Amino acid sequence: MTVVGARPQFVKAAAVSRALARTGGFDEIMVHTGQHYDDNMSSIFFEEMEIPRPRYNLGIGGGGHGAMTGRQLEQLERVILEQHPDLVLVYGDTNSTLAGALAAAKLHVPIAHVEAGLRSYNRRMPEEINRVLTDHLSDILFAPTETARQNLRLEGITHEGIHVVGDVMYDATIFYRERAREPSWFPDLSIEREAFVLCTIHRAENVDDPSRLQRILSGLRDADLPVLLPIHPRTRARIAESMIEVGANIVLCDPVGYLEMTWLEANCAVVATDSGGVQKEAYFHGKHCVTLRDETEWVELVSLGVNVLVGADSEKIRAAIVARAGKPTVPSVVYGRGHAAGKVAEVLL
């Protein structure tokens, strides 16, 4: 039984589901908690992405962390009791991941965690709490890197269930790269390929703090490059409420689908983001990343020099964008060679 709750998890799960099908011997029951309701999560999403449809959609999203996780835990326990899975597979660091791991652990069902061992060492992030607890509950831990394995060992997780397999997001990037789609409205912007900043901002620490949001937008404005910012309605409302000035070079657009985002990542000059997944995708597409956070779980990217942490410092944001836009990155196999999902399937078999 695979538990997912957000669109990025479906992309990761799709890579593993394809590997499970190729390997054979599995009957996978996919359960979507509904944590992130997304208009793009319609029938066309599953068709275009070639993702198996969830057998269960629990429709649990919204509310506080405790209420959401509790409702998910209750419903996932019900599904486990109905289906009697041999193993529950979870991904990443969402409330859905923790709820799935807790439900399985209390019913004595083995747990496998993909993206185990990541640490930002910022306990104020709910994602950090979710991933730490899930790792300590899991029987099989699929670490994307050696750094992740070392993080687990430092916390006393040293059993034989740890496997360094690489990053399944790299598998997904390779698979969907040829299917990427230029947004229909992009030509109307008169922005040249390889000459714009692709930016995403969604973390509460940035969106809900008017001062931080103002400094981030100021840094983007002063970089003097076109900035394309797919923006969630909630973030747009925060900008309006706080009367934050958006520079003339910053183009706000609605959120885009995964295939369009893949195209934008592949065709931008540099990425600026507070997303964990987009940091890696930037690297997979050969782009430098300017991370609008004070820490990151993907420390390998910082060590490689392809990712720089700038927080909400306007001058650091401007300088990093100017210095890195259009510069090539150094290839590395730190996240594997695109065969992580196959290794996950082999271990599970």
Supply the pLDDT for residue 270: 98
- Quick one: pLDDT at residue 233? 83
Which of 137-146, 158-167, 234-243, 332-341 has the lowest average pLDDT? Answer: 234-243
Give per-residue pLDDT as tens, 183-204: 999 999 999 999 999 999 988 8
- Which band of pLDDT confidence, cut at 50, 70 and 90, is reported for residue 124? confident
User: Could you give the CA distance from residue 144 to residue 121 in angstroms, rounded to a whole number?
Assistant: 17
Report residue 231 as tokens.
């923006």
pTM confidence score? 0.92
At 162, give phi and psi (nearest 5°): -85, 130
Q: What's the average model confidence in pLDDT over 102-116?
A: 98
**181-to-8, 84, 177, 262 alpha-carbon distances in Å:** 17, 40, 9, 8
Looking at the chain, the whole-number percentage of residues with pLDDT higher than 70 is: 97
Exactly one of 163, 202, 232, 339 is catalytic; which is it? 202
Q: Does the active-site annotation cover 202?
A: yes
Q: What is the mean pLDDT of residues 206-212?
A: 94
Q: What is the pLDDT of residue 277?
A: 92
Residue 155 has pLDDT above 90, yes or no: yes
pLDDT of residue 20: 96
Q: Bigger pLDDT: 67 or 37?
A: 67
Arithmetic mean of pLDDT, 193-218 = 95
Q: pLDDT digit string (tens) for 83-107?
A: 999 999 999 999 999 999 999 999 9
CB under 8 Å to 3, separation ≥6 — which residues?
Answer: 31, 33, 76, 88, 89, 90, 91, 96, 97, 99, 100
Q: For residues 96 and 106, is the Cβ–Cβ distance under 8 A? A: no
Q: Average the pLDDT over 68-79 and give the result.
A: 96
Instruction: For each of the domains in the chain, give its residue range(s) and CATH number, in order of start.
Output: 2-164 (3.40.50.2000), 186-324 (3.40.50.2000)
Q: How far is CA 217 from CA 5, 118, 221, 318, in A?
A: 30, 29, 6, 10
Residue 173 has pLDDT above 90, yes or no: yes
Q: 45-54, 61-70, 254-263 — which one is most confidently predicted on average?
A: 254-263
Residue 221 CA to residue 271 CA, distance in Å, equals 14
pLDDT at res. 40? 53
Mean pLDDT of the residues in the chain: 93
Where is average pLDDT lowest: 26-35, 136-145, 312-321? 26-35
- The count of other CB atoms within 10 Å of the CB of residue 136 is 15
Query: What mean pLDDT comes out for the span 151-175?
Result: 96
In this predicted structure, the answer to whether residue 42 has a pLDDT above a threshold of 70 is no
The three-state DSSP-derived secondary structure of the chain is CEEECCHHHHHHHHHHHHHHHHHCCCCCCEEECCCCCCCCCCHHHHHHHCCCCCCEECCCCCCCHHHHHHHHHHHHHHHHHHHCCCCEEEECCCHHHHHHHHHHHHCCCCEEEECCCCCCCCCCCHHHHHHHHHHHHCCEEEECCHHHHHHHHHCCCCCCCEEECCCHHHHHHHHHHCCCCCCCCHHHHCCCCCCCEEEECCCHHHHCCHHHHHHHHHHHHHCCCCEEEECCHHHHHHHHHCCCCCCCCEEEECCCCHHHHHHHHHHCCEEEECCHHHHHHHHHCCCCEEECCCCCCCHHHHHHCCEEECCCCHHHHHHHHHHHCCCCCCCCCCCCCCCHHHHHHHHHC
Question: What pLDDT score does 51 carry?
Answer: 80
Mean pLDDT for the stretch of residues 40-48 = 65
Q: Which residues share a beta bridge with 272? A: 199, 290
